[in-house]
Amino acid sequence: SQKIEQNSEALNIQEGKTATLTCNYTNYSPAYLQWYRQDPGRGPVFLLLIRENEKEKRKERLKVTFDTTLKQSLFHITASQPADSATYLCALINTDKLIFGTGTRLQVFP
């Protein structure tokens, strides 16, 4: 069956360090993969999109990699700040709809 897995355990890191979140998928061949941020009580907010022919994408302190052989995407936040604390969701695009992972909660402490 099709599945998207993200580390369900919270990731706790110290301010200034790099946070790395993992998204693994099975039985999909997505052309695109997106990462979203979700804060408590709010809807997901789009962060980055990466295409299957792109190995890496950057936006300010964010970096996403996409390995279609390993069926994995990594999401990095460099120089992390307490304001980066949130749940991060990866999502595959399947025709018109998004297929989400369960998300990983990131906590950045001072």
Partner 1 sequence: EAGVTQFPSHSVIEKGQTVTLRCDPISGHDNLYWYRRVMGKEIKFLLHFVKESKQDESGMPNNRFLAERTGGTYSTLKVQPAELEDSGVYFCASSQGLKPPETQYFGPGTRLLVL
Estimate to the nearest angstrom the gap between the alpha carbon of 24 and the chain centroid: 10
d(CA 53, CA 4): 20
Joined tokens for residue 12 = 């706790």
Segment contacting partner 1 by CB under 8 A, of 11-19, 42-50, 61-69, 75-83: 42-50
Q: Taking the complex as a whole, how short is the minimal distance between the CB of residue 38 and partner 1, in angstroms?
A: 9
Question: Half-sphere exposure of 66 toward its Cβ, with a 13 Å CA cutoff?
Answer: 22
Say whether residue 96 binds partner 1 (CB under 8 A).
yes
* Identity of the residue, 13 or 71, whose beta carbon is nearer to partner 1 in the bound complex: 71
Cβ atoms of residues 31 and 21 within 8 Å? no
Say whether residue 46 binds partner 1 (CB under 8 A).
yes
Segment contacting partner 1 by CB under 8 A, of 13-21, 44-52, 56-64, 70-78: 44-52
Say whether residue 100 binds partner 1 (CB under 8 A).
yes
Q: What order of strands is seen across the sheet that includes strand 3-6?
A: 3-6, 19-26, 72-77, 62-67, 56-59
Task: List binders of partner 1 among 7-36 (CB under 8 A).
Answer: 31-32, 34
**Interface residue list for partner 1 (CB under 8 A):** 4, 31-32, 34, 41-46, 49, 89, 93, 95-103
